[in-house]
Amino acid sequence: MTLDIEICSGTEAAGQQVAARIAALIRDKPDAVIGVATGSSPEPVYRALARYTDDGLDASGVRWFALDEYIGLPPGHPQSYRAVLERVLIRPLGLHPTSLHVPDGGAADPDEAAEAYEAAIAVAGVDLQILGIGENGHIGFNEPGTPFSATTHRATLTESTRRANARFFPSTNAVPVECLTQGLATIMRAGRIELVASGSHKADAVAAAVRGPVTEQCPASILQRHPDVRVNLDTDAAVAVYESS
């Protein structure tokens, strides 16, 4: 399947395009269920979406499901994904924190927490999933080699992912080693998917995901099998896509 690729002049333009489609979904379905990712690429989407709510868009009925969460961070840690999403999405949209659902990274039994989160997503049904992509092609924390059949699960972060996330922590050693993440099969059940990527450092991963073979060594390549995916890129992230066409 050929993915729908949209190339924008920059990250803010990409964010505005995706936000416009999210706003349209919310107008059509005020109780929509939207999956949300953290990271630098999706944040322009959330900034642009906040402008729609400032102009009167009512998102109070929307339920938001986080893609993943670290295991072992103390409650309220500023780099927990609950804290990040409350900071960049929930508060700017003027929403109540209970509208945000996040895997329980502090659970005594993380595997049981993963099963509970998977069940909650299955009951809710995700209308639209927002994704970023890692430099090694991961989506969520589904690292290379993750089975395409994986549902929400406990995962170990690769050293390359921990180094990439170290910019948010005092050092790489402070980055958690484990997480809870929606699995690839979970992500693929979403009705629609919007992937956002920016920067030349993502170019090779994007090209592998959208033009390369569908392989578990590039987890994002499974998106080629989804019927409704839009890939939103700035010009730097799209460079290798042109080369591989």
The pLDDT score that the predictor gives to residue 2 is: 62
The pLDDT score that the predictor gives to residue 160 is: 85
The pLDDT score that the predictor gives to residue 149 is: 98
Check: pTM over 0.85? Answer yes or no. Answer: yes
Q: In angstroms, rounded to a whole number, what is the distance separating the alpha carbons of residues 81 and 66?
A: 8
CB 241 within 8 A of CB 233: yes
- Alpha-carbon 142 to chain mean position: 11
CB 14 within 8 A of CB 49: no
Q: Parallel, antiparallel, or unpaired for β 153-156 and 178-181? A: antiparallel
The pLDDT score that the predictor gives to residue 244 is: 55
* Burial class of 104 by CB neighbour count within 10 A (0 to 12, 13 to 18, 19+): middle
Structure-token match 């399947």, residue found: 1
Q: In angstroms, rounded to a whole number, what is the distance separating the alpha carbons of residues 197 and 170?
A: 25
User: The dihedral of CA 115, 117, 120, 126: what is its sign?
Assistant: negative
Catalytic positions: 68, 136, 138, 143
Q: Splitting the chain (245 residues) into consecutive groups of 10 residues, what average pLDDT does each group show?
A: 84 95 98 96 96 95 98 92 97 97 97 98 98 95 96 93 90 94 98 96 96 97 97 93 67
The pLDDT score that the predictor gives to residue 161 is: 86
Q: DSSP secondary structure string, 180-195? A: EE--HHHHHTSSEEEE
The pLDDT score that the predictor gives to residue 158 is: 87
CB 130 within 8 A of CB 194: yes
CB 240 within 8 A of CB 16: no
The pLDDT score that the predictor gives to residue 1 is: 56
The pLDDT score that the predictor gives to residue 122 is: 98
Residue whose C-alpha is closest to residue 190's, from 41, 35, 68, 66: 35
CB 141 within 8 A of CB 155: yes
Q: In angstroms, rounded to a whole number, what is the distance separating the alpha carbons of residues 244 and 221?
A: 14
Which domains are present in the chain? 4-190+206-244 (3.40.50.1360)
